[in-house]
Amino acid sequence: MNRTRLAFALLFAITSAHAADRDVSKVNGGIEVEDGERYGSLDTVNGGIHIGANARVASAETVNGGIEVGASSQTGSLETVNGGIRVDEHVTTTGGVETVNGGIFIGRGGTIGGGIETVNGAIGLVDTDVSGGIETVNGDVTVGVGSHVHGGLHYGKQNKPFISIGKPRIPRVIIGPDARVDGPLRFEREVVLYVHATAKTGAITGATAIRFDTPTPPEQ
């Protein structure tokens, strides 16, 4: 390789390394990461964030918008306020996954390096390992087949509304086949708790487990 070609190769390598770490910050508008791309932190106020498959991202945060992560990607923490978070199969995060008003779903083979937290939104896991436990207040939780949650499961107290119309909905909690929750399961509000015969959990307080041995729990 001559010097000119070598110089271009070095320039390309330096540019690529710099591009791999670049951050994106917006106020209005979504952020798109294509398959296989690498970025630093991503944040926007009004807009969703879409991360393609086999991508690497340091973190992703939005206020009004959802977050989607493609299969086999690696990310840091994922956070939104008003929006759901959906993670495809075999994704690894080094941080937590958090939303206030929106659901969270982690696909098969996921590894979550922190905790999972919502206030108003369902949480669903399939064959997923969670390092930092689960925190929620009002949403349903499904610790699906083969999932392993370290750090327990906690339902916080429900704030009573100033005006109540009809009977409030009771969350449904499912610990599925071959699932495991290490640590306490603490419920500071009423829930309906189903635990599969093959599942393992820590001590349960505030709820009574209903055992089931079918692939899915009975309908309420």
The count of C-alpha atoms lying within 13 angstroms of the C-alpha of 172, restricted to the half-sphere facing its C-beta, is 9
Q: Which residues of 183-196 are buried (b: 16+ CB within 10 A; e: fewer)?
A: bbbbbebebebbbb
- Output the CA torsion sign for 52, 91, 85, 144: positive
Vertex 171 angle, CA 213 and 180, to 5°:
45
Q: Provide the pLDDT for residue 167.
A: 75
| Tens of pLDDT, residue by residue, the chain (220 residues) | 443 343 334 333 433 444 457 999 999 999 999 999 999 999 999 999 999 999 999 999 999 999 999 999 999 999 999 999 999 999 999 999 999 999 999 999 999 999 999 999 999 999 999 999 999 999 999 999 999 999 999 999 987 655 556 678 899 999 999 999 999 999 999 999 999 999 999 999 999 999 999 988 988 6
Q: Provide the pLDDT for residue 36.
A: 97
Burial of 211 from C-beta contacts in 10 A (0-12 / 13-18 / 19+): exposed
Is the distance from CB of 175 to CB of 152 less than 8 angstroms? no
Is the distance from CB of 204 to CB of 188 less than 8 angstroms? no
DSSP string of 52-76, one letter each residue: -TT-EEEEEEEEES-EEE-TT-EES
